[in-house]
Amino acid sequence: MNTSPDSGLVAACGLYCGACHKYKKGSCAGCRENDKATWCKIRICTKERGFASCADCREFTDLDDCKKLNNIFAKFFALVFRSDRKASLGRIAEIGIEAYAEEMHGEKLMVIKRK
Ligand code: SF4
Ligand code: SF4
């Protein structure tokens, strides 16, 4: 387990696994290392395209238009946890994945919250 900011812990969808309690207690290796997450189309899609995350994707001018990224689970997650993955991905595109990892580590946040 890594207790320092680590861009390798930024998930394909923009979540910061380093701030997740499952990662911290050692029961999950984080999105990138979790090859059991074969159900996740976002993870598969970014891997196939060689992206660290959807922040690298130029297929859509608005990430809301990607049906893989905005699947039913993502919508449910966003509602329950007030998460804003689009804002997280936008932040990665803006400041870079390393600075994003540092920011999320410092704020102990898995994802930027909806305002
Ligand atoms: S939704 Fe997919 S990309 Fe996001 S953390 Fe989970 S497995 Fe990784
Ligand atoms: S935004 Fe959609 S198409 Fe682009 S990498 Fe992410 S899941 Fe794939």
Domain ranges of the chain: 7-107
Percent of the chain with pLDDT over 90: 83
CA-nearest residue, atom 2 of ligand 2? 66
Neighbours of 49 (CB within 10 A): 11
pLDDT tens by residue, 26-37: 999 999 999 988
pLDDT band of residue 2 (cuts 50, 70, 90) is confident
Are the C-beta atoms of residues 18 and 30 closer than 8 Å to each other? yes
Which ligand 1 atom is nearest residue 37's CA? 7
Which residues line ligand 1 at a C-beta cut-off of 6 Å? 11-13, 15, 31, 37, 40, 42-43
- To 5 degrees, how large is the angle CA 107–CA 63–CA 68? 100
Structure confidence at residue 23 as a pLDDT band (50, 70, 90): very high
60 near 67, Cβ under 8 Å?
A: no
Nearest-CA residue for atom 6 of ligand 2? 54
Out of 10, 13, 39, 49, mutate this one to test ligand 2's pocket (max ligand atoms within 8 Å of CB): namely 49
User: Span 4-22, mean pLDDT?
Assistant: 96
